[in-house]
A and B are shown apart, each in its own frame.
Chain A
Amino acid sequence: MMKDVSVALPVRMWRVVTGYANPTRFLGLCDVLVPWCASLSALLIALGLYLTFFVAPADYQQGESVRIMYLHVPAAWLSLMIYAVMAVSALGTLVWRHPLADAAQKAAAPLGAAFTFVCLATGSLWGKPMWGTWWVWDARLTSVLVLFLLYLGLIAIWHTLEDQAQAAKAAGVMTLVGVINLPIIKFSVEWWNTLHQPASVFRMGGPTIYASMLWPLLIMAVGASFLFVTLHLMSIRNEILRRRVARMALMMAQG
């Protein structure tokens, strides 16, 4: 990460001041929160996996392969939720100018891409025995693939632009533009004829899924959410430290 060293000293100092406004307190917050969130997520995921394999019933049509659902569905929910987190962070950068918002954005992108990838991969593995094909270009799968591409594009912005402040603005704008994909994903199974099954949990009339399947699902989802929070906090912490190292390197170069 390279700084523009020809910028005048007062402007550099201003940047340093606003940059340090919250990070130190935030780092302290991280040190407290991360262990709790990590333990909670480990606990919930362990419980969820136990319920998945030993308690939840097998499907009368699909047999045991339905258990992939307990990985696939939470991953799908997470991929959408993380995008929403990124969109809020983007507003934080562009509108409210919060000093840590761009770090939050940058940290969330790879996590979102990872969860989307897990969703696509588990969906593919689930679909092969069910539909007979690894992939089908129906509305739901394609829109999630597009979400994956959006995540990749945002990661590319962060890595390609040398000026990180500029990258933050570019990524912020692109994130907000991409928000349109979220309702498309959600309602794709209703608006178009798809191979993918329609919504069974988040619907107007309430969930249509059995309680014995619903509870493991929700527990896995909450556990995965805490996993995301843990990783996100750790990632923001890393980003803050990375920026500090870069600042120190710059000061070292100036002697």
Chain B
Amino acid sequence: MGQAFSHALHVAVHDLRVERSGRCVLSAVSFELGGGQALWLRGPNGAGKSTILRVLAGFLPYQGGRIDLTVDEPHDCARDAIHFLGYQDALKSTLSLRENLSFWATLLSRSDEEGTCEERVSMALRTVGLHHLAMLLAGYLSAGQKKRMALARLLVTQRPIWLMDEPSLTLDQEAHDLLVGMMSAHRARGGMIIFASHTPLGLADVHHYDLRSGVKNHDD
């Protein structure tokens, strides 16, 4: 599903320095990643994994170093090339699942998306196994189901860069396999994933960056 992403996709972070509330939380962070690759951010709690993801997404400013994000057209700027999956699910409990997804599908998509909005929403709901609850109000879902809805959001529009903060949290085994499948498929299309997690999630061929020591390694 979905066309392949551009070969020009590239992220380069040089000597990044981030301060919050006057305190230096990240320093000398450097890594590079290309299309089709996945980077696993590892480190203890508080090491700054979430901070890096938020800086890459453009939600936080940085005080030193450089971030080079190369995306090919039709993305005019970095921010519409990114999907962000954080702790929160961005679900409105008084809207139905379909209404929630349709909103993000309309707002986050470009004019050249394949398929109509309804088709993409239905496909996403089917992929995460929530299609039979499409008309249900989101407030009735369990935590695991809400996380699946957040994953569905990643499927309604095609964006090359996925930034994911602890994506496997609250997922059961079946949903975990779904997540891994989605991430593998995204990489196969040439997309890039940077994720923070305590485990490599069972993905193969993953680069990892250790936030304690600032060392980047590659697992084969």
* A177 CB within 8 Å of chain B: no
Of the candidates B133, B140, B145, which one forms a contact with A2 in the assembled complex, judged by CB atoms under 8 Å apart? B140
* A252 CB within 8 Å of chain B: yes
Interface bin, chain B: under 10
Which secondary structure dominates where chain B touches chain A?
A: mixed
Tell me the complex Cα distance, A97–B142, Å. 30
Q: Which of B98-139 contact A (CB under 8 A)?
A: 133, 136-137, 139
B56 CB, nearest partner CB in chain A, Å: 33
Residues of A within 8 A of B140 (CB): 2-3, 5, 249-250, 252-253
Interface bin, chain A: under 10
Cβ-defined contact, A249 with B142, below 8 A? no
Cβ-defined contact, A253 with B133, below 8 A? yes
B196 CB, nearest partner CB in chain A, Å: 26
A-B pair number, CB within 8 angstroms: 22
Cβ-defined contact, A253 with B136, below 8 A? yes
* B141 CB within 8 Å of chain A: yes
Residues of A within 8 A of B142 (CB): 5, 253-254
Tell me the complex Cα distance, A3–B145, Å. 15
Cβ-defined contact, B133 with A252, below 8 A? yes
Tell me the complex Cα distance, A250–B133, Å. 11
Tell me the complex Cα distance, A142–B133, Å. 50
* B93 CB within 8 Å of chain A: yes
Please encode chain A, from 221 to 254, with 1 for each CB lying within 8 Å of some chain B CB and 0 for all others: 0000000000000000000000000000110111
Tell me the complex Cα distance, A5–B170, Å. 15
Cβ-defined contact, A252 with B136, below 8 A? yes
B178 CB, nearest partner CB in chain A, Å: 16
Tell me the complex Cα distance, A2–B140, Å. 6
Q: B93: nearest residue on chain A (CB-CB)?
A: A2
Cβ-defined contact, A2 with B139, below 8 A? yes
A-B contact pairs, 22 of them (CB 8 A): A2-B93, A2-B137, A2-B139, A2-B140, A3-B140, A5-B140, A5-B142, A162-B139, A249-B136, A249-B137, A249-B140, A250-B140, A252-B133, A252-B136, A252-B140, A253-B133, A253-B136, A253-B140, A253-B141, A253-B142, A253-B145, A254-B142
Residues of B within 8 A of A (CB): 93, 133, 136-137, 139-142, 145
Smallest CB-CB A-B distances: 6 pairs: A2-B139, A253-B140, A250-B140, A249-B140, A253-B141, A249-B136
